Chains A and B, each alone.
Chain A
Amino acid sequence: MSAARPAPAGTPAQIPASQEDGQSAAADTGPDEAPSPPGPSGLAITTSGLTKRFRGGQVAVDDLALAVPRGSVYGFLGPNGSGKTTTIRMLLGLIYPTRGSVCLLGDAAPGAAARVLPRVGSLVEGPAFYPGLSGRANLTRIDAADRTADPGSAPARIDAALDRVGLLSAARKRYRAYSLGMKQRLAIATSLLRPRELIILDEPTNGLDPQGTREVRGLIREIATDGVTVLISSHLLAEVEQICTHVGVMRTGRLVFQGSLEEMRGLDSRRVVVRTAQPGQAAKVLAALGLADIQSADGEVSAQLADESAERICRELVLAGVGVAGLDTPRPNLEDLFVGLTGEGFDVDG
């Protein structure tokens, strides 16, 4: 796995940097080592009983209770058609819930949408701009729609946003002539037009080549280091795994898992793997330590780690005269866990 993995989930939320009304958040997100989620006021997004039934009777989102901690990078995962985009559209007030409520940055929607949304940047279901306008003109248009944006600083803010996504040199080019990666970056730039407390990105890497995916991932990581809460949806765990602190997994409109990455790994017990020339003896030592599910195959003995520390196991093995060629406690494969949660194959969309 990548060495670029950010802070483990033990430090769930960075304190939001200099927000006018972030006082409630700061109190709850101290450097507490406990992986338990912060209190309600430390949540950037909460939904309760959120349900959307479309006119055809199809239930796209069913009784959803999201809890996105402030300062987290929340990977909102699930196969295509599992209700991610519908949920995001409800968060942003684009579609109205059939039942349930949304609370953004401590303010209850829908009444609060006009108050809260200026502090929320978003990219919903891919980029969409006026093809005949340049990148800069498109951002100017979006900024003009914001009644709380200062028109005087608009040119500077727009150039800064373009610069941040690396489009400044293409600012005068028509949107029509942009590559898919540039379009995607322009869409991200709309959420950078002003300082935000929350950024919601729906499939920001959709349709990008590996190079573009890396660029976007780097950009999100950069945004998140400023203490901004990021919710990023994807149907690929691998795509967001490296930058997320928390995940929520959707399956056919329901949330099947929500918590920190560490908690998700905890779903599958961690194992210790010992490479040795004396597998029989090693297995005996592991059994003596009380480890369960001992398996032995071609010079490797493995067992469930449980609460035992790797150091103690190593010491016991050596004391028992077992030559230890290698000892590892590999991280559980998240991809397998994810597929286990969301189901496999084409029939998962219900």
Chain B
Amino acid sequence: MSTAEATGAPPAGAGQLAAGAAAGPGAVAAWLRLLRSELRLVFRRLRNLALLAVLAALPVLLGIALRLAAPRGGGGPESSFIDQLAGNGVFLAFIAITVMIALVLPLAIAVVSGDSVAGEAGLGTLRYLLTVPAGRTRLLAVKYVAIVIFALASCCVVVAAALATGATLFPVGPVTLLSGTTVSLGEGLLRVLFVTLYVAAGMAALGAIGLAVSTFTEHPIGAIATVLVLAVASEIADNIPQFAVVQPYLPTHWWLFFDSLLRTPVATTDLLHGLLSFGVYAVIFCAIAWARFTSTDVTA
């Protein structure tokens, strides 16, 4: 459709803004009000709360298991962290992220992002929001920001639960990084924060894919399954040597590079590559979501 945006594209926003200022609240205040409403919907939904509870419970179980079974260096990627855990509970955060980034965290993001538009379409509430009119671009932007906030919250829940469990079950002190240098507990925690943000950025990129998938269907379960299958397929491809050429371009490839933050000096090249990859994925899939959502007929 050439009339790309029926309900208030940004270019038409100038007049709308003036009208809004005269008649009601400012455009920014109104946008924030819708975002608050969206966040309330996401964070009060029982299913999403259950997801967050699982995200909080797994690090606790992981900590107890590692406390009971004397950690022994295995072959997995988390082995170096596990070696460290006995001496420092902070490492439980890295172990938890490494374990959960494969499936559980993507699952949580897939559920919320896949449900974002498809869920509203399935319920029929989408037609009510659009005739308000919420504005298609505006609604999509709010949806994506809510997904990003949920992704950040998910990562924070994992890390907070892991840190609390780690501090309870293991000694806590200065952190010995993977490169062998030891930094103070304060700097160690700062690095934990950066790891959390990095992983959240990766999850936000997955959220953009979920948002795009969500605009193509009225069935949230289908969208959620699709996102999860895409993430797992990408992870599998990332582990098959024959795919080495495309691996740097896979959406999940850079997720585990958060360990760059645990070296001195920090391997910024890898981190920046990762962040660039997340950014490109977010932009491309938000654009797909926008193109689809603003041009499609809402018949649900």
A132-B45, A150-B24 are contacts. A94–B31 as well, Cβ < 8 Å?
A: no
Q: Is A147 in contact with chain B by the CB < 8 A criterion?
A: yes
Q: Is B70 in contact with chain A by the CB < 8 A criterion?
A: no
Q: Quick one: which of B114-149 are within 8 Å of A by CB?
A: 123-125, 127-135, 138-139
B139: nearest residue on chain A (CB-CB)? A145
With A and B bound together, what is the CA distance between A148 and B20 in angstroms?
A: 6
Q: Are B129 and A110 in contact (CB under 8 A)?
A: no
A93-B7, A94-B297 are contacts. A114–B135 as well, Cβ < 8 Å?
A: yes
Most buried by B among A89, A145, A149, A190: A145
Count of chain A to chain B residue pairs whose CB atoms are closer than 8 Å in the complex: 122
Q: Is B41 in contact with chain A by the CB < 8 A criterion?
A: yes
Q: Are B3 and A145 in contact (CB under 8 A)?
A: no
Q: Are B297 and A142 in contact (CB under 8 A)?
A: no
Task: Name the contact of B129 in the complex, choosing from A118, A125, A140, A145 (C-beta under 8 A).
Answer: A145
Q: Encode contact with A along B277-300: 1 for CB under 8 Å, 0 otherwise.
A: 000000000000000000101110
Q: Are A111 and B12 in contact (CB under 8 A)?
A: yes
Q: Is A35 in contact with chain B by the CB < 8 A criterion?
A: no
Q: Interface with A: B32-40, B92-100, B152-160, which one? A: B32-40
With A and B bound together, what is the CA distance between A282 and B67 in angstroms?
A: 110
A130-B125, A148-B20 are contacts. A113–B6 as well, Cβ < 8 Å?
A: yes
Q: Quick one: which of A70-124 are within 8 Å of B by CB?
A: 89, 92-96, 109-111, 113-115, 117-118, 120, 122, 124
Q: Is A308 in contact with chain B by the CB < 8 A criterion?
A: no
Most buried by A among B6, B16, B41, B123: B6
Q: Which residues of B contact A144 (CB under 8 A)?
A: 33-34, 36-37
Q: Are B8 and A128 in contact (CB under 8 A)?
A: no
Q: Which residues of A contact B132 (CB under 8 A)?
A: 117-118, 142, 145-146
Q: Are B7 and A117 in contact (CB under 8 A)?
A: yes
A113-B133, A130-B41, A190-B128 are contacts. A148–B123 as well, Cβ < 8 Å?
A: no
Could you tell me the distance in whole angstroms from the C-beta of B184 to the nearest C-beta in chain A?
Answer: 45
Q: Is B27 in contact with chain A by the CB < 8 A criterion?
A: yes
Q: Which residues of B contact A96 (CB under 8 A)?
A: 1, 3, 6, 295, 297
Q: Is B46 in contact with chain A by the CB < 8 A criterion?
A: yes
A151: nearest residue on chain B (CB-CB)? B33
Q: Is A126 in contact with chain B by the CB < 8 A criterion?
A: yes
A140: nearest residue on chain B (CB-CB)? B37
Q: Are B135 and A132 in contact (CB under 8 A)?
A: no
With A and B bound together, what is the CA distance between A129 and B123 in angstroms?
A: 7
Q: Is B23 in contact with chain A by the CB < 8 A criterion?
A: yes
Q: Are A147 and B7 in contact (CB under 8 A)?
A: no
Most buried by A among B8, B133, B299: B133
Q: Quick one: which of A125-176 are within 8 Å of B by CB?
A: 125-126, 128-132, 140-142, 144-151
Q: Are A128 and B124 in contact (CB under 8 A)?
A: yes
Chain B interface SS verdict (over half): helix
Number of residues from A at the complex interface, CB < 8 A? 37
Q: Encode contact with B along A337-350: 1 for CB under 8 Å, 0 otherwise.
A: 00000000000000
Q: Is B248 in contact with chain A by the CB < 8 A criterion?
A: no
With A and B bound together, what is the CA distance between A128 and B27 in angstroms?
A: 27
Q: Are A93 and B6 in contact (CB under 8 A)?
A: yes
Q: Are B297 and A147 in contact (CB under 8 A)?
A: no
Could you tell me the distance in whole angstroms from the C-beta of B299 to the nearest C-beta in chain A?
Answer: 6
A194: nearest residue on chain B (CB-CB)? B24
Q: Are A146 and B131 in contact (CB under 8 A)?
A: no
With A and B bound together, what is the CA distance between A120 and B24 in angstroms?
A: 16
Q: Is B25 in contact with chain A by the CB < 8 A criterion?
A: yes
Q: Are A130 and B130 in contact (CB under 8 A)?
A: no
Q: Are B129 and A142 in contact (CB under 8 A)?
A: yes
With A and B bound together, what is the CA distance between A131 and B119 in angstroms?
A: 12
A86: nearest residue on chain B (CB-CB)? B299
Q: Which residues of A contact B45 (CB under 8 A)?
A: 132
Q: Which residues of B contact A93 (CB under 8 A)?
A: 6-7, 130-131, 133
17 A-B residue pairs with Cβ-Cβ distance under 8 Å, sorted by A, are: A89-B127, A89-B298, A93-B130, A95-B298, A95-B299, A117-B132, A118-B133, A128-B123, A128-B124, A129-B128, A130-B125, A140-B37, A142-B129, A145-B129, A149-B30, A150-B25, A187-B128
Name A residues whose Cβ lies closer than 8 Å to a Cβ of B.
89, 92-96, 109-111, 113-115, 117-118, 120, 122, 124-126, 128-132, 140-142, 144-151, 187, 190
